[in-house]
Amino acid sequence: MRMRPTLHWTPPSDLPPGTTDLRPVVEAVRAGGVLVLSGAGISTESGIPAYRGEGGSLSRHTPMTYQDFTSSPRARQRYWARSHLGWRTFGRALPNAGHRAVAAFARHGVLSGVITQNVDGLHQAAGTQGVVDLHGRLDRVVCLSCGATSPRRDLAVRLEAANAGFAPTVAEINPDGDADLTDEQVGDFRVVPCAECDGVLKPDVVFFGEPVPVHRIEHCRRLVGEASSLLVLGSSLTVMSGLRFVRQAAQADKRVFIINRDPTRGDPFAVTRVALPLGTALTTVADQLDIPVDGQPAA
């Protein structure tokens, strides 16, 4: 029997409320050795919506699952039509204050690493080196038959050529880079095959219902083991792919700090959850530590 992935989580009533006190986070960053785990919430200020929380995309759509994508040509057609349009916006997104602050922390030597659940590449665009893309990158494409990878921009050119004039109105862009389209808008959109072997192309990301590669998980576990503390940024931790690292840190008596507007599944393991916008919160932390952001002296 096929299992549907966990998409929603209802917070228990006994979770402590969030705070606006950033002092514990400031002290943790000051001490150094902080491992960052970021989620969709850090990219909302770049115009990419979160999955959950107020205005989250899951309130209006169900994301593509690995099982549906691999088993249904019609599902792949819908996905690539929506993703092709979404890429025009998603691919132009720029890092925001939160990404820039994380990059500044890394340059200042207070981070032990960065793991992101996002597929947008915005941490790297902000200048952070060595980011672990837990769920892959949307700017790469992989063939499910021969394993060849290629840049997403190359596929975009091929899809444009195969679907001249395809330009339905896009209302919303989702965190996984696809646009909300009706079946009527999808129409007879043409999907192109792998240029090497005519196989099925898939974005080089981990879909819902698809396991994260074991080697990637083990790498992240090593990072958690080596870190002094864990700082979660903009993730509800609803799915186990991120929550497992919070649990690991807590079991090893490492302090966990969370900055997220809404309650998370990791709250019971955390020292504190700061309920502030990430750009504001992280810029404030940088200011209090006199860490320059974007090469400018801290205020």
- Was 102 annotated as part of a binding site? no
Q: What is the DSSP string of 155-217?
A: HHHHHHHHTTT--PPP--B-TTS-B---HHHHTTPPPP--TTTS--EEEEE--BTSPPPHHHH
Q: Please tell me the distance from the alpha carbon of residue 23 to that of residue 49, in angstroms, as a whole number.
A: 28
Residue 235 is assigned to a ligand binding site:
yes
Residue tagged active-site, from 61, 123, 135, 215? 135
251 annotated as ligand-binding: no
119 is in an annotated binding site: yes
Q: Is 120 annotated as a binding residue?
A: yes
Encoded tokens for 183: 């079946």
Active site residue 135: yes
- Would the annotation count 178 as a binding residue? no
Q: Write a three-state SS string for 46-84.
A: HCCCCCCCCCCHHHCCCCCEHHHHHHCHHHHHHHHHHHH
Asked if 242 and 39 touch (Cβ cutoff 8 Å), the reply is yes
Q: Is 278 annotated as a binding residue?
A: yes
Q: Specify burial of residue 198 (Cβ count, 10 A radius: 0-12, 13-18, 19+).
A: exposed
Measured CA to CA, the distance from residue 247 to residue 242 in angstroms comes to 9
Residue holding tokens 């590449």?
121
CB atoms within 10 A of CB 245: 25
Number of H helices, E strands in the chain: 10, 9
Q: Is 146 annotated as a binding residue?
A: yes
Helical pair 240-251 and 214-226, crossing angle rounded to 10 deg: 30
Distance CA 88, CA 292 (A): 32
- Shortest CA distance to 234 belongs to which of 132, 93, 116? 116
**Is 118 annotated for ligand binding?**
yes
Binding residues for NAD(+): 117-120, 234-236, 278
Residues annotated as part of the active site: 135
Binding residues for Zn(2+): 143, 146, 194, 197
Binding residues: 117-120, 143, 146, 194, 197, 234-236, 278
